[in-house]
Structures are given as C-alpha cells and as structure tokens.
Structure 1
Amino acid sequence: MNAMNFKLIKTEEDYNEAIHMMEALGDREDFEDNPDLISQFELIAKLVQLYEEEHAPVTQGHPIDIILMKMEYMDLKQKDLVPVIGSSGVVSEVLNKKRAMSKKMIRAFSEILKIDQDILNTPYELTKPTQTVANTALPSNKKAHKLFQFADTSQTLAFKERVRKTGMLMAIC
C-alpha cells in the first residue's frame, strides 16, 4: 500500500504496512503544513480503524479494574483513598466489587485518579457473596467456630452431609 494506492486492510501484513505508512507520514517535517499529507494520514487512519474494529474490538473494561490499574500506576494504596472515599471498610468493599460506587465516589475517584467519570459510571455486577455455613458438628472450642464458604448451595449441602456421616472434618485446601 503506497500513499496514492489505498485499499481496504484485510490482513495483518496490510495492517502493519498501513501503520508504518502513518508513522512515516506523521514524521515528515512538512506534515503539519501539508493538507495532502494530512488527508492521506486521515484516510489511512480510517482504514486502520475499520480493520481494528473488525479484528480486534476493544471491550469496555470493568470500572474497578480500571481504578486498580490507575492506582497501581500512581503508586496509591487503599489507605490513600480513605480520606476522600470513606472508611477503609467502604474503600475495601468498593475495590473488591462488593459495594457499588455512589455518584460522590465516582466523582472522587475521577478527580483523584484523573479518570473520565463516564468510564467509572458504567453499570457492573457486584461479586456475589459466598454462602457462609457454620460447622455445628465440631466441638465448641475456639477453633471449631471457623466459618466455611462455598460458591453454591449444592456444595454446602454435600459438605454438611459428609460431616453428618463421618462425624469429623478433614483438612480443606
């Protein structure tokens, strides 16, 4: 593909060639003052965009994952957000996807992390709490009051049945 011979980008090779051509056009000293070069660049950019939309669509990221990545980039910890977002428990619940962000939190995250509010104001599902079952078959001492978490009810019922039948609990990894 040369500057005057434009074609649809159909292969990875065509795509790479188009990217190199855009770089070459953009690197020219007279680029900003040359409307023909700018038009060529825009046309190639549109062809690249069409190829990328078809072959490498970008899906919207999870707002909390975006927040966590930006925090890592800015070297921020959860405790750094407490003064602006709320208690450490609230910050933890939000960052662990257990609590939804309020409008106030979205504004605060946006301001602190320099993230567009529209990105953060995207609906998302919270993580579902796992069912917690107290093991009543164990003797009542401090260690016996540990709680076990299971992803669904069938696992809970199977666990309870095994404890009832054997009268003991084996190590769970």
Structure 2
Amino acid sequence: MILEIEKVKNVWDDVKDILSVPHTDKQYKKLVKVLDELIDEVGNNEKHQLAPLLETVGNLIEEYENDHFIQPNAEPIQVLKFLMQENSLTQKDLNILGSQGVVSEILNEKRELNVRQIKALAEKFNVSPSVFI
C-alpha cells in the first residue's frame, strides 16, 4: 500500500486540481471544463481508459453542486422543459439538439440525450452537464 501512496505523491501536484473536491467557484468552473473535455474524449465509451476519470470528476462536481446549489428533483427532460419555460424557448429554439423530429422525441421522452446534446445544452443554459445526465 505504501508503494501506491508513493506513486500518487509523485504525480499529485500535476493532478490535484482535477482529483480534489472543489471548494471555490473558480475551482468548480475549472472542473466543469475538465468534465467537458473528458466528455469530448471519452463519449459513451465505457471501456475508454479515461472513463473512470470522467466518473470521478463527475462525482466531484456533484459533491460541490449538492453543497452549493439547489438541485432540481427532476429527470433531465423535466429540467430541460423547465429551462425552456424559464427562457421562453420553443422546440424550434433547440435546433442544437437536431431536427424538429429529434427535439420532439427528446421532449416526449422517446429518445435519450446523447453526449453531444448534453454538452450543447449545458453550454446554452450555462449549467453543468450533470444536470442532463
């Protein structure tokens, strides 16, 4: 076990910013950017070598959000509908998700959001991608 800790100590300065619970808004925003990059890299590939890191970073972000933000007690599509209502948006305004048919299927819960769509929605509404997962 001591050998494992020594290995971590040798690289800790290089990875501590992405493997520590954020305590400030600045740290949180940096970690959200890391998550976005990991989503781009890993996508839906659960066998990707960085998939465990994606999960860990997502958990660290969730920890911060649970302590600092009111979490909606709703499914991702319900959150999307709420954000649409709050921003006076219609299905046509969500062309970042795909065609009108795709948007309709998503809103009617006949289709799940994919990684690209989650990232686009997070950017559009300036929220963490975890809101849509």
TM-score normalised by length of structure 2: 0.44
User: By percentage of residues, which structure has more strand?
Assistant: 1
User: By percentage of residues, which structure has more helix?
Assistant: 2
Look at both structures and tell me which one has the larger radius of gyration over its CA atoms.
1
TM-score normalised by length of structure 1: 0.34
